[in-house]
Structure 1
């Protein structure tokens, strides 16, 4: 059960829309869209997989690079033959489609498929000022070292992340 309703407006540093079949239902959810638009400019807006469809539908990805899952599931193959990243282009024609696993466009960060969400998490640690040794240790403890070493550079960064006071 959720801890908050949209009307509670809890303070947060980042907002995430995960992928999955629920995103299809939320594409036209005006309450969700209004809530996202009400978030302060300092709040990161992130997504994994088809979660970026919602930001695309809202026009938030216009003129920005973004990514999505590149492989279809069985239902997607049978229904339309389109992979989610192609569907993102239909939903958000002004979006600049990237095939990177993680795309950092400043305030908006999108990740491809489910596993790409892990790389987005590591990238968020990097943006928060943690060094590669620490992030590598996190990956090791998670038993994700090999994948981290393979994918950590499959990233498109549009703008440099702002530096925290601890980094200056």
Structure 2
């Protein structure tokens, strides 16, 4: 555990077509942690467009990134391209080698897995794509936050806040994590019990599966290619 107030360098990876809440949810939590130094990372300092339109400014490039304590990879539609982006994958491998925690939110776990950073670990992902982790040598776990040694992964989008509070507790203790949760008034009371296939009406879940089937198949194809590439690099 890190001494409270000691500098904690956290890098969150930006990329085109990411889901902004995958990044901004954890960033809001991490930014309230004593000693946190947040780096929003991309190849350049140009604005990065999220999948719903808003653009986010990187603060640090991959090349200028300092040694990190935590690396976090969000998800989103742009994850498909990133799984075959060797510049990003190599950056993650290099950064992770020095990190206390290697982490992700949503389909960011597929990116970590494509980089070879989750092989042999338990991890989670968005419910629609969690089965794809097994193609990359990862044990899929249907939980909101999963920890395996120094890997911590969060499930889909909104779980990023739960995930980040878990990371804070790991780094500086449960007391600080609870203080941040209270400051943020993070007290979920959703209007519908439809936030997971475990609770949503089966017909609703099936409708969403059908609606997203074409996109999920694109993701699966990218995951299979990443798995083939990963296997070759390990030969």
Structure 1 and Structure 2 fold alike (TM over 0.5): yes
- Secondary structure, counterpart of 1:21 in structure 2: coil
Partner residue of 1:50? Answer: 107
Larger radius of gyration: 2
Displacement of 1:146: 4.6
Is it true that 1:142 corresponds to 2:198 in the alignment?
A: no
Displacement of 1:143: 1.9
Provide the TM-score with structure 2 as the length reference. Answer: 0.52
Partner residue of 1:107? Answer: 150
Is it true that 1:86 corresponds to 2:131 in the alignment?
A: yes
Partner residue of 2:63? Answer: 7
Q: What does 1:114-133 align with in structure 2 at a 5 Å threshold?
A: 114-132=157-175
Q: What does 1:2-41 align with in structure 2 at a 5 Å threshold?
A: 2-39=58-95, 41=97
CA distance in 2, matches of 1:6, 1:137: 32
The one-character-per-residue Cα deviations of 1:13-46 (angstroms, maximum 9, x if unpaired) are 1111111111111011100111111125341221
How many residue pairs match? The answer is: 132
- Please, which runs of 5 or more residues in structure 2 have no aligned partner? 1-56, 190-235
Partner residue of 1:74? Answer: none
CA distance in 1, matches of 2:81, 2:140: 23
- Please, which runs of 5 or more residues in structure 1 have no aligned partner? 71-82, 148-168
Provide the TM-score with structure 1 as the length reference. Answer: 0.71
The one-character-per-residue Cα deviations of 1:102-151 (angstroms, maximum 9, x if unpaired) are 1112222111011111111111111113234x43332222121356xxxx
CA distance in 1, matches of 2:182, 2:73: 26
Q: Pairwise CA RMSD of aligned residues?
A: 1.8
